Structures are given as structure tokens and as C-alpha cells.
Amino acid sequence: MRGTARHRVLVTGIGVESCAGDTPDELWGALSAGRSAISALDLEEPLPCRVAGVITGFDPRRYMTAPQVRRTSRFQQLLFAAAMKAREDAGLRTPPGALYVGTGGGGIDESARLVTALRKKGWKRMDRLGLIRLLPNQAAGLVAQELGITGPVITVSTACASSTDAIGWGMRAVREGAADVVLVGGVESWLDVPALASFCLLDALSQRPAEEAAIASRPFDRDRDGMVPAEGAGVLVLESEQSALRRGATVHGEVLGAASTCDAHHPMAPRPDGAMAARAVGLAFADAGLDTAAVDLISAHGTSTPLNDRTETAAIKRAFGPHARQVTVTAPKSVIGHAGGACGVLEGVGVLRAIQEKYVPPTANLDNPDPDCDLDYTPLVGRPAVINAAVMQNFGFGGQNSAVVFGAV
């Protein structure tokens, strides 16, 4: 059980930028209704990927000065906006003690621009700030500079598990007393041709036509044909109970435990038996001082790829044993697509709201369940439920497995 020396870790602030909206209410509205936020993707190149979770109407000038906008790339701007909103939601007036940010590709979309400029203009005519727009740690560095964060500012890059791992790092910092308040976040901006083409070559992305965008992401469905890429950013404020009480902060939920493992199996494919993914979940519950039988909701990684969804089903069965048949599962990527390194925080917002609202969001587009994916994935229609403990699990290339346990307060 949780030791008395450990601080409770509460969520006291939320900021999001997602294809479903730029507020937690808008994101939750789409998730709870099973309303797809996937749209047609406008690309000059004739890639087979024609749909994505695109953020529309984002204006960084709402949050940044004109010089900041000129010097930064989209992934930095998205994280900055989410961080400013999380700080405002939490009512913070002093710098947080630390910042942990997860991203898979960082400024990967800037790479193509630099190469194009190099070929057209030569290296001396390239943007001298191009490297600053590209480096994965620069989004966190920008936020730290703005907020005056002089403690640890760590960028975590574990593919699609990145921001889930970032939550775990931040939780431990608060729980162990290293900081009273930390920010944890995730960001991804990878809807550019080179990145998407690379995933297309791996047959990893859905090839549904643009007119079928709303039904393209279909985790655990027999007719799924690949993940739907999305961009986004999310930031949570994690705070010790003592600090939150002292400030009179609004509490959105609690982080109870977290853990990570590695398949050590393949650069892309998950370990077929799901053993290490299941171990991450088991370790997260042990870290929370709970048994897996206490879980009321699983927020699945649910990428909508044929192999990953089957493997995740096997992992859930291994982790939860007989309880796997009773526990409710939801797959948020059916609505908001796969935001890479940002998916953990964005999906974590959905879990926190599910606990608060006592409601399990549906898995959208689950019209024809795959016989190999035979658990309760809440198909098509959500349902009321009392949720005391929920686990969010995310897995990434390189065999990265990460799980976080959230609780009601």
C-alpha cells in the first residue's frame, strides 16, 4: 500500500490543443459522444494516407509575442499554448518546480524545410534558427523560459509512450517531495509529407479515402486498416495535496501510480504475447498500492492497426486475468486519432473527465468486432459508470510500454 511518507499527487490544471478542440470541455464532448474529429488531409504529394486529426484555427499569437512566433515551429507553439492554458487553469502565480515533456518527433516537420532550403539556397542561406525549431527539447525549453522554471526540464522521447512516461516522471517528483508543483506535457506535430510517407511505407496508416475520414480510425474493429495520424499538445499541472490545499486549488483528479517497461523485441512490432505491456500495467498498479482487480476502466492504446490491437487485447488478458472480462475498455484514438508522443496526456484528460463525470466514452466505429479482440470495448455508445480507478496504457515503437493509474478524489 501507499506509504505515509509519500505525497498524494493531484491534477490541478489542464491545457489542451487537439483536433477535437482547444479546451478540455470540447475534447471531452467529442470523446463522450464518440464524435470523430478526423478530417480530410490536404497534401500535395499523392500519399495513400488522406485523413488525419488536424488542428484548425490555431493562432499562436493568442499566447505568444510576435518575435516568439517568428522564432518557433508548430510543435513549440502548440506546447506553449497548452502550457499557458494549464497554468491559467491551475491559477499558478509562481514558477513550477519542474517540467517533463514527451514528444516522439519534436520538430520533425522542420527537417524537410531545412533540406529544401539547403538544396535551393545553399547552406549559408538556410534559416540560422532552423536547428532551434527542430530540436525536440526546445519546446520544453521555451515553456521553461516563459515560466521561469529553473528545476529539471526534461524532454522524454519514447515514441508513442512519451507523454505517458512524462506523467510518471512528474508524479514521482511530486510524490517524493522534489517539487510541490510540476508541469507534465506532450506534443506532436508530424503531419508533413516525409513523416507520413515513412509511415505509409511501413503500411502503418489507414488508407481510407478523404470522404471516409470520420470512420477511418476503428480500433478493435475487423475492418480496421491502420492508424490515423493526429497532431496535438496537452499539459497537466501535478501538485502535492498540501500545496493544493494551501492554494485552494481546483482538483481534477489524482495520479496514483505509473510504470514503464520495454519489450526488447523489435524496432516496430510489439512482442506478440503482450507480456511486457502487461507487466507495465501490473507494475503501475503495484506502484499505486492497488490490485488490478480494483480497476474500473482501461483507456486502451487502440491504434487501429491489425497487429497492435490484437496484441493489446492479449496484454490486457494477461495483466488482468479473469477480471479482463468484467472491466470496461475505451479507445480514444477512435475519435481523436493517434497524436504520437502527445497521446498520453490528451487521453489522460479523457480519463480524468470520465472519472469526474462517471461516464465511459464509447469506442467509435466499432461496428464489426474482430473475433480476436473479444473484450468489452464499449462499442459505439458510452455508458454511466462509477470509476474509482482507471489505467491509461500507451505503447510505442522500440517496444516502449507505459501505464498510468488515475483515481477519483
Assigned C-alpha cell, 71: 522564432
Residue 258's pLDDT is: 98
Beta bridge partners of 258: 404
Assigned C-alpha cell, 126: 538556410
Residue 98's pLDDT is: 98
Q: Are 301 and 312 in contact (CB under 8 A)?
A: yes
Give the chain as a 3 state SS string. Answer: CCCCCCCCEEEEEEEEEECCECCHHHHHHHHHHCCCCCEECCCCCCCCCCEEECCCCCCHHHCCCHHHHHHCCHHHHHHHHHHHHHHHHHCCCCCCCEEEEECCCCCHHHHHHHHHHHHHHCHHHCCCCHHHHHCCCHHHHHHHHHHCCCCCEEEECCHHHHHHHHHHHHHHHHHCCCCCEEEEEEEECCCCHHHHHHHHHCCCECCCCHHHHHHCCCCCECCCCCECEECEEEEEEEEEHHHHHHHCCCCCEEEEEEEEEECCCCCCCCCCCCHHHHHHHHHHHHHHCCCHHHCCEEECCCCCCHHHHHHHHHHHHHHHHHHHHCCEEECCHHHHCECHHHHHHHHHHHHHHHHHHCEECCECCCCCECCCCCCCCCECCCEECCCCEEEEEEEECCCEEEEEEEECC
Residue 5's pLDDT is: 66
Residue among 408, 401, 406, 409 at smallest CA distance from 391 = 406
Q: Which residues are catalytic?
A: 160, 301, 338
Could you tell me the domains of the chain?
Answer: 10-407 (3.40.47.10)
d(CA 363, CA 47): 27
Residue ranges, the chain, pLDDT below 50: 1-3
Residue 1's pLDDT is: 35
Residue 130's pLDDT is: 84
